[in-house]
Amino acid sequence: MKLTKKLEAEILKAYTEIWDAYLKGDMRTFASMLDENCYIIGSAAGEVFSNKKAAVKYYKSTAEQITGKAEFRNRKINVMPVEKGFMVNEGSDFYLLIDGRWTFYGPARISSLFHKKNNKWKVIHQHGSFPDSKTEEGEQVNADKIKAENIQLRDAVKRRTEELENKNHELEIETSLEKVRTVAMGMRKPEDFPDVCEVLFKELQSLGFKELRNAMVNIHNDEKRSFVNYDYSDEIGKSITSLSYNEHPVIKKQTLSFYPYDYNSNFQYVDIVKGADTIRVFNHHLQSLKFSQGNLSYIENPSIESKQDLEKSKNVIAKFKAAFLKRKVQADHIRAEIEKSPYPVIVCGDMNDVPNSYAYQTIGNNLKNAFEEKGAGLGRTFTGIAPTLRIDNIFMSKTFTVNQFVRIDKKLSDHFPIIADIGIEK
């Protein structure tokens, strides 16, 4: 039979109609275009039918797998004449709608043999397949396998991405170390140490350590009973400070560490001999609020006009709560050690909390405070946020007298230094 343009258009129309009906779940139209004695071969195990009745029964029972969830893309269709009819061949990409996204399932290959019966084109033979089919008996498509394969692929991509990120981070660390080494190897005199501190500080920041206060190097000289502190911070720049050791011998040193064993969960004390007396001196640094620059900016200009403002407010409140709870535990540990001391105590440190706080009241209970004894004014020790924050303290047993208290109005960090001259009552 000769293939004319008119015949080709008719056959393509019939071919399009039967597959549109199939994809839409219109089994009535689909069935009307099958010959009673059609022979159908599909992809799945058992998808072989020798008549229309068997084929329609199968496709009706599995229609929910396809209806509204499948489509052909990049279709290439041609018609060719064969004995007693015309063969339509199609090659295309088959897509499934999986979890709301169109997902490539595989290449489709379809051959449909049409003949004309009662003046209507009908399929007498059809073979449709996916060369890498994932279906089993009773299935037209297997979306679950596609999902599993997609998950495996995503996991593999994620693992590889993490490997590359880790490798890249290792290279970043090595690059930063090399920059520090270069400056250190270029030193010509001790006064060059702050240059090392500066590059160390900036490289740590570039590696993601955003809450650094400063970087320092301490050089101890036991013969001269002194040490030199070389320091750098963005706030004050480079500095060199020389300090002499106390003349009074230290007979005991102790560092105490508690869960979760981080910086703020540790504190130290030393026992110092002064004449006939022994004094236990504590040093501590309680949990900070860890405010970011964004937090500080919001505190300076608070607002609740937008959803973003509310999120900023919640973030600040969450940091307050977390820090308060941690300082409570830390203060309890320090208080317990103060109670155990067989000697009078001096307790110095950054409390990161105000005088009416639990931490202040717990640690300072039954102790003198150097500022309250000899200080004046508001006693501000923190350089940021508000002018009333006195969060650094020197406490001592009541057997001591405070002769002088001074706050150094020099911005060496985000805290002002405080000094107290203390005597022992006889």
Average model confidence (pLDDT) across the chain:
88
Task: List, in sequence order, every residue forming a beta bridge with 116; answer none if it has no partner.
Answer: 121
Task: List, in sequence order, every residue forming a beta bridge with 286; answer none if it has no partner.
Answer: none
Q: Give 99-145 as a DSSP string.
A: TTEEEEEEEEEEEEEEEEETTEEEEEEEEEE-TT----TT-S--HHH
- Res. 140: pLDDT tops 70: no
List, for residues 77-88, the tens digit of each pLDDT value: 999 999 879 999
Contacts of 44 (CB under 8 A, 6+ apart): 133, 135, 136, 137, 138, 139, 140
| Domain locations in the chain as residue ranges | 5-141, 142-245, 246-424
Of residues 118 and 43, more confidently modeled: 118
pLDDT at position 209 is 86
pLDDT at position 160 is 77
Reported as a pLDDT band with limits 50, 70 and 90, residue 144 is low
What is the pLDDT averaged over residues 138-152? 61
**Rama region for 153: left / alpha / beta (φ>0; ψ in -120 to 50; rest):** alpha
Q: Beta strand 277-285 with 266-274: parallel, antiparallel or unpaired?
A: antiparallel
Reported as a pLDDT band with limits 50, 70 and 90, residue 378 is confident
246-424 CATH, one of 1.10.443.10, 3.40.50.1000, 3.30.1360.30, 3.60.10.10: 3.60.10.10
Task: Quote the CA–CA distance of 213 and 237 in Å, as a whole number.
Answer: 11
Computed on alpha carbons and rounded to an integer, the radius of gyration of the chain in Å comes to: 40
5-141 CATH, one of 3.10.450.50, 3.50.50.60, 3.40.50.1370, 3.30.230.10: 3.10.450.50
Q: What are phi and psi of 227, to 5 degrees?
A: -145, 155
pTM for the whole structure: 0.52
pLDDT at position 16 is 94
Reported as a pLDDT band with limits 50, 70 and 90, residue 167 is confident
Handedness of CA 319, 320, 323, 324 (dihedral sign): negative
For 419, the 3-state DSSP assignment is strand
Task: Quote the CA–CA distance of 131 and 68 in Å, as a whole number.
Answer: 23
